């Protein structure tokens, strides 16, 4: 049957199982939006800025495992998507962005609202398309979704001229894709898996690092099996939080710049690192030359470009994390590493990272901890970027997969609120809290309108310190406390929320915290709490820039040098 290009796009999205689209109208995409009322199975959520459409699609994809979808018009609509697309690219999130474009006759003529969005997004997408014939739309959409979700996931952009939405063509949705140059390796090489198993079986002080690849592949049970069978302690990257239950006896927290001291000490002293689904980002490794100085490294990742890119690797295994761990588990018998775990437990006692100190003022760490206590750890936490992000990572315990959503690779301020919308839409029966800073929140607070209009029951906790907090912390530590362009004169967030029809509270004292959180939880719809916290509270621990994971600032004025030979156990000869 013949359909318009707009209908073909909608029919194709239905075939792909799409239920939700985040977007904003505009001239070039009008013919597509005109067809949406014919497809009630496609829920469109009108955001207030295109960047937030991409972030909402991102948050939706992370909690559901489905491909997130966003629409925008041409020109500024398309360029506003760029930050969100880049965020999804660096964090390996499957998103399909569909942009309108000027009509074919105007391409390349600097027409009104024309921009080369395929050229702009080439470095930050897995692939992108400019579709010049309506007859090519179905095939293109099929390929885009396949590329977005398979291998190492990522964003794909489809740019469609306005008149292609109007043009009619025969609609036949393909049952399969034909991409001969695209063949992700999912099964690990047996010889490499055997080598890895031998190293694990011979190690005295092995350590597992869980990255976001565990979440992407759904390898939670396989990771837990390997850890428990081999009695191997587990640490995580920022985006690996939640891959392994944080209340488990073998869990030792997050590594990296703001990781726990004992997790970083474990990296420094382990004789074997088993890195699963992580890319050795600089915030996780600190100074690369000092990373895992006495340990051999097994690296499991589906993207061969990541292996050996940042850190030397002794046993590389290219493949899907779940399938590789399944095979590895067959080769690892019950092993005891009680002395090694005892050592880590001692370090955890000697270098506590999650104790909230007493204070007359309201500490942000205390707020996060009380959100954990009231929600009993059953909420999904979506963060902004900066100090709020680190406190949320450190002081809430994540036992459920995909329960910590944050911008890792790009570090996008403003990510929290729109991503929380996507997360709540994707999992309506799970409480979703957006823990944000006052600086990050102000970058996308217009999405309060989206929350109210679409009845999205997101709970918002603003850790309001009156600063761009993380930058201020760096200015304090490394720039002689010269605070330049970091002090914020913020608005009354409760009044702003009320202006959007959302109830809220301002909290200044510790005794008000729990009642405010309980009130927010009792509210059936959205709720905002503005927590006025200590303005110059810093995030600890911290590894200074240029330092190794062995050099950790644990508290104000306290610097600890952790040497690999501080471990009581000898390093094995594996």
Q: What is the pLDDT of residues 401-437, one digit of tens each?
A: 999 999 999 999 999 999 999 999 999 999 999 999 9
In the CATH scheme, what architecture does the domain 364-532 have?
3-Layer(aba) Sandwich (3.40)
> Residue by residue, what is the 3-state secondary structure of 76-113?
HHHHHCHHHHHHHHHCCCCEEEEEEECCHHHCCCCCCC
Cα–Cα distance for residue pair 421/404, rounded to 1 Å: 14
**What tokens does 457 get?**
């029951």
The pLDDT of residue 562: 54
pLDDT at residue 568, rounded to an integer: 44
Q: Report the percentage of the chain scoring pLDDT > 90.
A: 94
Q: Report helix, strand or coil for 422.
A: helix
- Please name the residues in contact with 92: beta carbons below 8 A apart, sequence gap of 6 or more: 152, 153, 154, 212, 213, 216
pLDDT of residue 563: 43
Give me the pLDDT at residue 565, please. Answer: 42
**Three-state DSSP string of 181-249:** CCCCCCCCCHHHHHHHHHHHHHCCCEEEEECHHHHHHCCHHHHHHHHHHHCCCEEECCCCCCCCCCCCC
Question: Three-class SS of residue 456?
Answer: coil
Question: Top-level CATH class of 190-353?
Answer: alpha beta
pLDDT of residue 9: 98
Strand-strand pairing, 315-318 and 251-254? unpaired
pLDDT of residue 557: 66
Residue 137 pLDDT exceeds 80 = yes
Class of domain 2-170: alpha beta
Q: What radius of gyration, in Å, describes the C-alpha atoms of the chain? A: 24
For 320, list phi and psi in degrees, rounded to 5: -65, 135
Q: Residues 313-333: pLDDT tens digits?
A: 999 999 999 999 999 999 999
What pLDDT does residue 555 have? 81
Whether the model clears a pTM of 0.85, i.e. scores above it, the answer is yes
Nearest Cα residue to 56 out of 297, 289, 382, 292: 382
Residue 184 pLDDT exceeds 80: yes
Question: What is the per-residue pLDDT for 1?
Answer: 83
Residue 195 has pLDDT above 50, yes or no: yes
The structure tokens listed for 378 are 């059953």
Tokens representing residue 214 in the block:
């565990």
For residue 332, give the H/E element and its range.
none
Instruction: Yes or no: say if 36 and 202 are a contact pair by the CB < 8 Å rule.
Output: no
List the domain boundaries for the chain: 2-170, 190-353, 364-532
Q: How many Å apart are CA 235 and CA 420, to the nearest integer?
A: 25
Convert the pLDDT of each residue in 464-492 to its tens digit. 999 999 999 999 999 999 999 999 998 99
What's the confidence (pLDDT) of residue 556?
77
Equal CATH topology for 2-170 and 364-532: yes
More confident residue, 500 or 574: 500
Summarize the confidence of residues 508-532 as an average pLDDT. Answer: 98
Q: What dihedral angle (degrees, nearest 10) is formed by the CA atoms of 318, 321, 322, 326?
A: 60
Name the phi and psi angles at 108, rounded to 5. 80, 10
Q: How confident is the model at residue 558 (pLDDT cuts 50, 70, 90)?
A: low
Contact 307, 300 (CB under 8 A): no
Residues 52, 418 contacting (CB under 8 angstroms): yes
- Residue 110: count of CB within 10 angstroms of its CB: 8
- Average pLDDT (438-443) is 98
Long-range contacts of 466-472 (CB under 8 A, 24+ apart): 466/438, 466/490, 466/535, 467/439, 467/535, 467/536, 468/386, 468/437, 468/439, 469/386, 469/387, 469/388, 469/437, 469/439, 469/537, 470/385, 470/386, 470/387, 470/390, 470/539, 471/386, 472/536
222-264: per-residue pLDDT in tens? 999 999 999 999 999 999 999 999 999 999 999 999 999 999 9
């Amino acid at each position: 049957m013949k359909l318009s290009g707009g209908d073909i796009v909608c029919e194709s999205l239905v075939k792909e199982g799409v239920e939700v689209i985040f977007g904003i109208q505009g001239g070039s995409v009008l013919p597509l939006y005109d067809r949406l009322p014919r497809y009630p199975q496609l829920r469109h959520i009108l955001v207030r800025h295109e960047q937030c459409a991409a972030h909402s699609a991102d948050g939706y994809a992370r909690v559901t495992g489905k491909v997130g979808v966003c629409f925008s018009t041409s020109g500024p609509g398309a360029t506003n998507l760029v930050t969100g697309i880049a965020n999804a690219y660096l964090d390996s999130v499957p998103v399909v962005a569909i942009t309108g474009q000027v009509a074919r006759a105007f391409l390349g003529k600097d027409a009104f609202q024309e921009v080369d969005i395929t050229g702009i997004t080439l470095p930050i997408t897995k692939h992108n398309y400019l579709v010049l014939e309506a007859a090519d739309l179905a095939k293109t959409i099929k390929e885009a979704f396949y590329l977005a979700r398979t291998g190492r996931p990522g964003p794909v952009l489809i740019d469609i001229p306005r008149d292609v939405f109007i043009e009619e063509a025969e609609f036949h949705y393909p049952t399969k894709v034909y991409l001969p140059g695209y063949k992700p390796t999912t099964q690990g090489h047996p010889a490499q898996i055997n080598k890895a198993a031998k190293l694990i079986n011979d190690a005295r002080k092995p350590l597992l690092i869980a990255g976001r690849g565990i979440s992407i592949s759904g390898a939670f049970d396989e990771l837990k099996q390997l850890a428990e069978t081999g009695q191997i302690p587990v640490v995580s990257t920022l985006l690996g939080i939640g891959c392994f239950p944080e209340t488990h006896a073998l869990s030792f927290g997050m590594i990296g710049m703001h990781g726990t001291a004992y997790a970083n000490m474990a990296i420094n002293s382990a004789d074997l690192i088993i890195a699963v689904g992580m890319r050795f980002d600089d915030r996780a490794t600190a100074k690369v030359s000092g990373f895992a100085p006495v340990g051999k490294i097994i690296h499991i990742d589906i993207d061969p470009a990541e292996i050996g890119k940042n850190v030397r690797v002794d046993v590389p295994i290219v493949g899907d994390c779940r399938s590789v761990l399944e095979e590895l588990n067959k080769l690892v018998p019950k092993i005891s590493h009680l002395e090694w775990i005892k050592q880590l437990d001692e370090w955890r006692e000697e270098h506590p990272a999650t104790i909230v100190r007493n204070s007359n003022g309201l500490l942000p760490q205390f707020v996060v901890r009380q959100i954990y206590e009231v929600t009993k750890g059953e909420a999904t936490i979506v963060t902004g970027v900066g100090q709020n992000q680190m406190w949320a990572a450190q002081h809430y315990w994540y036992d459920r997969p995909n329960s910590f959503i944050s911008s890792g690779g790009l570090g996008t301020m403003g990510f929290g609120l729109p991503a929380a919308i996507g997360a709540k839409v994707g999992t309506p029966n799970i409480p979703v809290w957006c823990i944000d800073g006052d600086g990050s929140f102000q970058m996308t607070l217009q999405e309060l309108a989206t929350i109210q209009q679409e009845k999205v029951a997101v709970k918002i906790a603003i850790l309001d310190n009156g600063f761009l907090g993380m930058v201020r912390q760096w200015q304090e530590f490394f720039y002689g406390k010269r605070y330049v362009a970091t002090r914020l004169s913020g608005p009354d967030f409760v009044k702003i929320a009320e202006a959007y029809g959302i109830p809220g509270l301002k909290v200044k004292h510790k005794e008000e915290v729990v009642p405010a959180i309980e009130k927010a939880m009792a509210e059936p719809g959205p709720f905002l709490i503005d927590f006025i916290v200590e303005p110059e509270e810093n995030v600890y621990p911290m590894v200074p820039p240029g330092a190794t994971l062995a050099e950790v600032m644990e508290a104000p004025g306290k610097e600890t040098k952790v040497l690999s030979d501080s471990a009581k156990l000898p390093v094995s000869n594996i």
